Amino acid sequence: MARESFLLRTDPKVLDALRRWADDEFRSANAQLDFILRRALKEAGRLPGKDSDAREQQN
């Protein structure tokens, strides 16, 4: 799967909380954000395909 990067502007307090959460779960902040986004998209029924299920199980 190809990966694409993008700039995210957020409140420093939000970023700090994300980093602490990621540390608690032994992930990078980037991997944690990806995990959160995928889970939210899956729950909302907006993430199609089997690839999403396989990726979720890896995390």
Interatomic CA distance for residues 58 and 18, integer angstroms? 20
- φ, ψ of residue 6 to 5 degrees: the values are -155, 160
35-49 residue pLDDT tens: 999 999 999 999 887
Summarised one tens digit per residue, pLDDT across range 4-36 is 999 999 999 999 999 999 999 999 999 999 999
pTM of the model: 0.74
Q: What is the pLDDT of residue 50?
A: 65
